[in-house]
Amino acid sequence: MAAPPQSSTDQQQASQYARSLIEASLDPPVTISPEGKITDVNEATIKVTGMPRAQLIGTDFSNYFTEPGKAREGYRQVFEKGFVTDYPLTIRHRDGQLVDVLYNASVYRDVNGNVLGVFAAARDVTESRRVMREFADTKNFLDNILQSSTKYSIIGTDLNHTILSWNEGARLNYGYEDGEIVGKDSTVLHAPEDIRSGAVDKLLSTAYKKGLAEGEFQRVRKNGSRFVANVVVTRRNDSSGSAIGYLLMSTDITEKKQAEEKLRYASQYARSLIEASLDPLVTISPEGKITDVNEATNKLTGRPREQLIGTDFCDYFTEPENARRGYEQVFSKGFVTDYPLTIRQHDGRLTHVVYNASVYRDAKGNVLGVFAAARDVTAQKEAEAKITEQRAREEQRARELDRLAELERFQKLTVGRELKMIALKKEIEELKREVQRLRPAGSPERALV
């Protein structure tokens, strides 16, 4: 049985309703004919292109992008498949300004199911969160707009929370087919504890009073499993401005939450490792500023962490330029080993250290800074000084012993000579006596030479 024909008044109201939806959007939606010509735009499209509506209507959709061929391929895919999601394009404004967008688009049909054209909504990816809010602020969507999104769950309800509309994104996220969920109470999608705590009522109450509310909630799928979603609720109004229901837009952020938790755990783990080190550890930015320290560094410098962060790494050494050359070598070579420096503590005491340092990078391999670990070698320096001093004393003692030995040799030589002289004198005396004895009586006495 054929559907009864709509009255001209109904058609006019539907047309005005559709026009209001299009103009209410802060995103630049556009409708495209099967020939690729623009058939309708809103004020946002006029602003993003810099072209008046009269000049846009009837022109080729692909003319307003940096890659016309890619734009043409995009709307062709919509006619072939029925929709595209997150299709990347770059709009060129009349003055040359470029805007990167993602298009979500689907075909729209007449009452007989014949495809009339494509409805495409662009999202500025440079300000995705703003776009998400503005997209949620567009309180009423045509069914084609709802179905153009597979990433976001877009659910329409009345004031009693009965589900009236259900898009493809909602089906993918929650697991319910359209026929299973439309007409049911939307509380089945909320975690029971959020309902009992009043968090859901507070969200909806805020949306009713202020027109918009947002929060992160546990959501429940058809199979009972859960996921974390960012939920934006806007109040739906009729043409007179009276509230008639809610529009719930949500996206699964479970992976993001898990990634944040892993990052938090990794950060805590890294912090624990850093603090567990008895050696002073420090990270340095490419500008030479301290970005992090551990407790051992606080103790070594005599300064609290908050006073060290953001200051120049070189300020804490007896030779600042030598310290600067050290971390510059790390950035240029990737590392340094056993780089000697002397830290001047807050009270003026000096601590000799050697640094081992290397650059650290982000996931893409970009150098973020330098990680440097100092090893206190003051005791070693003192030990080396004592050893050097001991060696000097031993060398001095050896020289003194050599001198003493030389003196002893000289003394022995001198004493030997003296003894020989004494013996020689004694021998001479004995010879004199012998000569006197042998000399005949009365012979003249001769002196002995």
Query: What does the DSSP assignment read for 361-396?
Result: E-TT--EEEEEEEEEE-HHHHHHHHHHHHHHHHHHH
pLDDT at 22: 65
Q: Say if residue 196 is in the same domain as residue 230.
A: yes
| pLDDT tens readout for residues 189-208 | 999 999 999 999 999 999 99
Q: Is residue 57 part of a domain?
A: yes
pLDDT at 25: 66
pLDDT at 136: 47
Q: Say if residue 176 is in the same domain as residue 97.
A: no
* Residue found under tokens 């020289």: 399
Q: Say if residue 252 is in the same domain as residue 156.
A: yes
Q: Is residue 393 part of a domain?
A: no
The sheet carrying 38-41 orders its strands as: 38-41, 29-32, 115-124, 98-109, 83-92
What CATH number does the domain containing 66 carry? Answer: 3.30.450.20
Q: Say if residue 21 is in the same domain as residue 124.
A: yes
Q: Say if residue 54 is in the same domain as residue 115.
A: yes
Contact between residue 148 and residue 106 where contact means Cβ atoms under 8 Å apart:
yes
Nearest to 25 by CA among 104, 134, 117, 148: 134
Q: Is residue 415 part of a domain?
A: no
Q: Is residue 7 part of a domain?
A: no
Contact between residue 206 and residue 227 where contact means Cβ atoms under 8 Å apart:
no
Beta strands in 238-386 (DSSP E): 243-252, 281-284, 290-293, 335-344, 350-361, 367-376
Q: Say if residue 225 is in the same domain as residue 290.
A: no
Q: Say if residue 67 is in the same domain as residue 87.
A: yes
Q: Is residue 444 part of a domain?
A: no
**Gyration radius from the chain CA atoms:** 48
Last residue of one domain, picked from the residues 341, 376, 411: 376
Last residue of one domain, picked from the residues 376, 411, 443: 376
Which residue numbers in the chain have pLDDT < 50?
1-3, 129, 131, 135-136, 139-142, 448-449
Q: Is residue 34 part of a domain?
A: yes
pLDDT at 253: 85
Contact between residue 371 and residue 358 where contact means Cβ atoms under 8 Å apart:
yes
Last residue of one domain, picked from the residues 376, 409, 428: 376
**The dihedral sign for the CA sequence 428, 433, 439, 442:** positive
Domains: count for the chain:
3
Fill in the amino acid letter for 345: Q
Full domain range(s) for residue 262: 150-266
Q: Is residue 422 part of a domain?
A: no
DSSP 8-state class, residue 278: S
Nearest to 232 by CA among 135, 99, 297, 117: 135
Contact between residue 233 and residue 248 where contact means Cβ atoms under 8 Å apart:
yes
